[in-house]
Amino acid sequence: MPREFLRSDRMAEQVRRELAEIVRDEIKDPRLGFVSFTEVRMSRDLSHAVIYCSFFNSEQQNEAVDVLNRAVGFIRKEIGRRIRARIVPTLKFVIDESVTRGVAMDDLISEAIKSDNKNSSDEESE
């Protein structure tokens, strides 16, 4: 039996694709830099969308999110022109911190492995 996809999931993916094109081609703000839209979470009624963004330059990510949130009106208008939907969702951009947390977890794991290896080699030399 094939897996069924929710309409909100399909709409979220379409919005994510269109956002990437709009930001790449239409928004020319240098403060934005390189942005990646990692996830779009849609409400069940498709009226609200939270967009998780990851930025190459982490020092300016707060400013870049502000740029995107100020351009919401323009972005919604462009999305409305590009997709066929009765409702164009309200958009809210937030920083996706999962990448940062993943790197921190990877560092902690590497540190623990090094510590274990050091302890086991110290025990063997005794």
Same-domain check for residues 35 and 56: yes
In a domain? residue 1: no
pLDDT averaged per 10 residues, the chain (length 126): 73 92 89 88 92 84 90 93 88 88 87 83 64
Measured distance CA(111)–CA(7) in Å, rounded: 43
Same-domain check for residues 105 and 55: no
User: Of 26, 71, 101, nearest to 63 (Cα)?
Assistant: 71
As given in the structure block, the two tokens for residue 107 are 């560092």
Q: Which 3 state secondary structure label does DSSP give 17? A: helix
**pLDDT the model gives residue 1:** 46
CATH number of the domain where residue 44 is located: 3.30.300.20
Same-domain check for residues 104 and 85: no
Give the domain extent around 67.
7-95
**pLDDT the model gives residue 85:** 80
Which residues, in sequence order, are CB contacts of 97 under 8 Å at separation 6+? none
Measured distance CA(104)–CA(123) in Å, rounded: 29
Q: Do 54 and 123 meet the contact criterion of CB atoms below 8 Å apart?
A: no
Q: Do 40 and 48 meet the contact criterion of CB atoms below 8 Å apart?
A: no
Same-domain check for residues 112 and 70: no
As given in the structure block, the two tokens for residue 69 are 């949130």
Same-domain check for residues 88 and 109: no
In a domain? residue 26: yes
Same-domain check for residues 105 and 48: no
**pLDDT the model gives residue 14:** 93
